[in-house]
Structure 1
Amino acid sequence: MSESNLTRSAPESPARPAVPLMDLFRRISPIAGELGEIFAAKGHELALVGGSVRDVFLGRAGNDLDLTTDARPERVLEIVRDWADSVWTIGIDFGTVGVRKGGLLLEITTYRSEAYDPKSRKPEVAYGDDLGEDLSRRDFAVNAMAVRLPAREPADFVDPYGGLADLAAKVLRTPGPPERSFDDDPLRMLRAARFAAQLGFSIDPPTFEAVKRMAERIEIVSAERIQAELDKLIQGAHPRRGLTLLVDSGLAAHVLPELPKLRLEIDEHHRHKDVYEHTLIVLEQAIALEESGPDRVLRWAALLHDIGKPKTRRHEPGGRVSFHHHEVVGAQMAKKRLSELKFPKDVVADVARLVELHLRFHGYGTGEWTDSAVRRYVRDAGHLLDRLHKLTRADCTTRNKRKALALSRTYDHLEERIARLAEEEELAKIRPELDGNEIQRILGIGPGPVVGKAYKFLLDMRLDKGLIGKDAAEEALRAWAESQGL
């Protein structure tokens, strides 16, 4: 690539940023400029690249910077050793050296290109000597911009593929032919949906058509990499946009097949065109209830809460459709899917539990539950109670305003009862009134399975009757033991 093509900026308005390039350069950390001086003195190039440049234009600059250089990894280590506060080499096999300087984390990667063998899950890394070639192998034009360091003049801004214009248009487009880009790294197809969810961008038609044609190729990518992209997507500002792209492109059929299957199912109340649309609305409503940023577990539970419906669909008399026990089946399916995607065990367990419990409230009616039933609801939810509140409220998508208001008021009533009982009894810490040692002393037995059975009996009694006092608990325990032939 010629130098003139390499350094040309994006077209004029509307792509030209409102703030002059030199002002934008001043927003780049002085530490990055200082390191650029050091590399130049050692005879090497260094440039701010990719998302770090994109985010400067978006006003989202953070404490993590991506840099690229013609220096090989071993040479990078030599250059930064005496300058950095700390260095790590966990990514050195892929050409990346990590550096911490002050409050900044910098990843310095040697110019490279990545390509996948059609039968391999791991990229092959080849180093290069040209910034232009490095940018040509980037995923999207908005990430194929660079700023040569230290940035001194407009020519140091490098935008050979019109990334700045795409940024202004909020569109994702590959630097070269999309087929080549996705063949080099199929994960880029999924990354397009992730960026759409994070930034609210769309995918240009030729790029989207390439995704549709090549969707099956995502299957060579490791589960860990797919999980990372899906997790970022669902925690983005616009997850519905990203999920829609996954389904419409055919990618979801390979990475989250439960989602497109929901399109085929009409829900039991005929409220929506399909369960898929209902699910997206529930996700959006759950997000609206978040209090302090994206809630990973809540969002995944909202997305997967009805995935058991296709397997439990039954046609009933009168043309109705039922999905009995879909919450139980869905919990098992959620656990299986998230485990296969290598999610942490605690996330898998929490999401599956919320899916299992999301219909429990509907047995509450207009407040018929006894205090015992309320205690069990709280105990079964455990640390997920607040999320269960949010998921249950989000799951109301009826267009009947009177019905929606009635459901909301009923749940308000349940929460008020939970709060009252919690204040009286510390519901979150419910335990039998006699512990294991006391059970053994009263019954004159040692450790063993009988103690566990007695403990369960006392716990059930505690949930049913509340606090009855230790004397009454002991009397009940003795009566139970006698009935068991002990």
Structure 2
Amino acid sequence: MVDIVPLNTGDIPFADDIIRAAADSGAEVYFVGGVVRDLLMRRRIHDVDITCFGIAYSEFAGLLAEKADATYVPFKDNVRLVKGGVTIDVSKPRGETIESDLQKRDFTINNLALTLKGEIIGDPYDLEKALIRHVYTSVFDDDPLRILRAFRFVSECGFDIVPETCRLIADKADKIKNVPKERVYQEIFRFFSGSYFDKAVTLFFRKNPKDLFRKGNRTKNSAAYYLFPELVDSEDIRQNSIFHRENVLKHSLSVAKEIFKIARGLNIAEERRFVLITAALLHDCGKKEAWLRNNRKNFIGHDELGSRVAAEIMKRLGYPNKYIKRVSFLVRQHLKLTIFAVNGVRKMKLQRFVFENMDEVEDIILLSLADNRVKKFNMKRLYNIILRIRNAQKEIDMSRAKTVSGSDLIGMGVDRGPEVSILLKEVHFRLAFGYLKSMEDVKNFLKEIRGK
């Protein structure tokens, strides 16, 4: 259930400017869609959607841009105004009247309008009951991205998708392939950043029960199959019961939900949380390929393979390069602490790991924690490795490393070229941890290592 609160247009950003622009132009203006939903739910409003009648939407947008002193950005069927972190979308009407306009919107939680006097148009029943229901039968044909948007609303609001909409999603799931990857990525970011991600991701990848999906009980009857086929195809791969409780797909989902809980508990910022959740979901995406390469005997090498597969998945889904790089790195590293915990690791090797991964070591730790908490693993061993990492972090002093440069090494006889950067990295490591304490130590070390 959702508590619906009394409406006050004064709670909408730039409402006064919109009301003045409407009065000056004589236009019939309505707040529509998400802004009405968020206002009723008392959610913070960042996006304001309006539509108008009696005036061209672009003309009204220009008038409003002047009054609000906002940036004006035209698109195909709407104009976006931007100011102070708030976007105002002035959209072309989808019908001759506001009532017919609402009947072309995606879900009943969004086919609501609000007059400038604060009077609601439409039925808020499904919003009150926290239900996601499609408005008309061709809703996903008109815009297949709405399939993914349904799960994004689950993630952001915690709502349930009604059975008939689940069935329609199953029927139309393959259409998501036709959506430009940039639009898909935008929805995935909001999906993975939602406060109810754990609920949404379970529904997104679920084995569709027959009472909800006409096509059967396979995960392939959802958008997940067309966006993340490498994960869905891994649901039939069982793992060694000594270490795992679940198949590869279920384990990946469990790790993603576990890191979501960890990130929420630590109040991790949205962008970093998005990277961690993506890495958790994709951390074992190389297991099927490794399993086939290894004659279906084991998953050796799946971390390296997974790094490549994860990059391919993210490129296909329109992820920016900065996220592709960070997630691929985490997927490649996700086994490191587990291997240290099982096999042991010498002090200097662990220090080198910390030195080489200073910027990412915290996220490697979190991913390893999530991965091992949901399977059969001796967590005391992992906690001991993390404690040793914390001690190494206390010991490291990068200011000592900065006392030596590449020019210094050249002055000590190192030839210009790749050898300088290789040796400088090693010298910096040893200086940072106190293995080398002076310039004389550096000279002696170079003589020794170059002799070898």
TM-score, length-scaled by structure 1: 0.80
C-alpha separation between the residues in 1 aligned to 2:284 and 2:412? 47
Q: Please give the per-residue CA displacement for 1:81-118, whole angstroms capped at 9, x wherever unaligned.
A: 54122231243x32224154x78542222213xxxxxx
Question: Is 2:449 the counterpart of 1:480?
Answer: yes
The aligned counterpart of 1:9 is none
Question: Is 2:47 the counterpart of 1:64?
Answer: yes
User: Which of 186, 193, 211 in structure 2 is aligned with 1:228?
Assistant: 186
Question: Counterpart of 1:67 in 2: which secondary structure?
Answer: strand
Q: Are the structure 2 counterparts of residues 467 and 214 from structure 1 closer, same or farther at C-alpha, using a change threshold of 3 Å?
A: same
Q: Are the structure 2 counterparts of residues 311 and 430 from structure 1 closer, same or farther at C-alpha, using a change threshold of 3 Å?
A: farther
Post-superposition offset of 1:36 = 2.8
Q: Tell me the C-alpha RMSD between the 2 structures.
A: 2.9
Query: What residue identity is the alignment partner of 2:81?
Result: G
Post-superposition offset of 1:76 = 1.0
Alignment map for 1:296-335 (pairs within 5 Å) = 296-313=274-291, 321-335=297-311
Question: Is 2:280 the counterpart of 1:280?
Answer: no
C-alpha separation between the residues in 2 aligned to 1:453 and 1:316? 34
Post-superposition offset of 1:189 = 0.8
Query: What residue identity is the alignment partner of 2:321?
Result: K
Post-superposition offset of 1:190 = 1.1
Question: Is 2:104 the counterpart of 1:141?
Answer: no
Post-superposition offset of 1:239 = 2.1
Question: Is 2:314 the counterpart of 1:356?
Answer: no
Post-superposition offset of 1:46 = 0.9
The aligned counterpart of 2:70 is 86
Post-superposition offset of 1:454 = 3.6
C-alpha separation between the residues in 2 aligned to 1:150 and 1:31? 15
Q: Which moved more, 1:197-206 or 1:348-357?
A: 197-206
Post-superposition offset of 1:37 = 4.8
For the 8 Å contact 1:278–1:397, the answer to whether it is kept is no
Q: Are the structure 2 counterparts of residues 265 and 462 from structure 1 closer, same or farther at C-alpha, using a change threshold of 3 Å?
A: farther
Q: Please give the per-residue CA displacement for 1:1-48, whole angstroms capped at 9, x wherever unaligned.
A: xxxxxxxxxxxxx89x654xxx32366338425523531442211111
The aligned counterpart of 2:420 is 451
Post-superposition offset of 1:158 = 0.6
Post-superposition offset of 1:220 = 1.4
Q: Are the structure 2 counterparts of residues 451 and 241 from structure 1 closer, same or farther at C-alpha, using a change threshold of 3 Å?
A: same
C-alpha separation between the residues in 2 aligned to 1:390 and 1:444? 40
Q: Please give the per-residue CA displacement for 1:142-174, whole angstroms capped at 9, x wherever unaligned.
A: 0000101132xxxx3110xx3x11112221111
User: Which of 383, 389, 392 in structure 1 is aligned with 2:359?
Assistant: 383
User: Which of 197, 203, 217 in structure 2 is aligned with 1:239?
Assistant: 197
C-alpha separation between the residues in 2 aligned to 1:301 and 1:56? 34
For the 8 Å contact 2:131–2:162, the answer to whether it is kept is yes
Query: What residue identity is the alignment partner of 1:237?
Result: S
Question: Counterpart of 1:68 in 2: which secondary structure?
Answer: strand
C-alpha separation between the residues in 2 aligned to 1:455 and 1:99? 48
User: Which of 155, 158, 162 in structure 2 is aligned with 1:197?
Assistant: 155
C-alpha separation between the residues in 1 aligned to 2:404 and 2:4? 70
For the 8 Å contact 2:9–2:15, the answer to whether it is kept is no
For the 8 Å contact 1:379–1:430, the answer to whether it is kept is no
The aligned counterpart of 2:209 is none
Query: What residue identity is the alignment partner of 1:371?
Result: K
The aligned counterpart of 1:50 is 33
C-alpha separation between the residues in 2 aligned to 1:459 and 1:132? 69
Q: Are the structure 2 counterparts of residues 108 and 430 from structure 1 closer, same or farther at C-alpha, using a change threshold of 3 Å?
A: farther
The aligned counterpart of 1:117 is none
Post-superposition offset of 1:285 = 1.5
User: Which of 93, 101, 109 in structure 2 is aligned with 1:111?
Assistant: 93
C-alpha separation between the residues in 1 aligned to 2:425 and 2:196? 46
C-alpha separation between the residues in 1 aligned to 2:419 and 2:374? 49
The aligned counterpart of 2:231 is 259
C-alpha separation between the residues in 1 aligned to 2:150 and 2:8? 27
For the 8 Å contact 2:311–2:328, the answer to whether it is kept is yes
C-alpha separation between the residues in 2 aligned to 1:368 and 1:433? 33
Question: Is 2:138 the counterpart of 1:217?
Answer: no
TM-score, length-scaled by structure 2: 0.86
Q: Are the structure 2 counterparts of residues 364 and 433 from structure 1 closer, same or farther at C-alpha, using a change threshold of 3 Å?
A: farther
Q: Please give the per-residue CA displacement for 1:251-308, whole angstroms capped at 9, x wherever unaligned.
A: 1121121221231121233532312221222112212222224411111111111111
Alignment map for 1:423-438 (pairs within 5 Å) = 423-426=394-397, 431=401, 434-438=404-408
Query: What residue identity is the alignment partner of 2:67?
Result: W
The aligned counterpart of 2:214 is none
Aligned residues: 431
The aligned counterpart of 1:6 is none
The aligned counterpart of 1:73 is 57
C-alpha separation between the residues in 2 aligned to 1:54 and 1:453? 57
Q: Are the structure 2 counterparts of residues 462 and 310 from structure 1 closer, same or farther at C-alpha, using a change threshold of 3 Å?
A: farther
Structure index of larger Rg: 1
Q: Are the structure 2 counterparts of residues 108 and 150 from structure 1 closer, same or farther at C-alpha, using a change threshold of 3 Å?
A: farther
Q: Are the structure 2 counterparts of residues 173 and 444 from structure 1 closer, same or farther at C-alpha, using a change threshold of 3 Å?
A: closer
Q: Percent identity over the alignment?
A: 25
For the 8 Å contact 2:283–2:331, the answer to whether it is kept is yes
C-alpha separation between the residues in 1 aligned to 2:103 and 2:279? 39
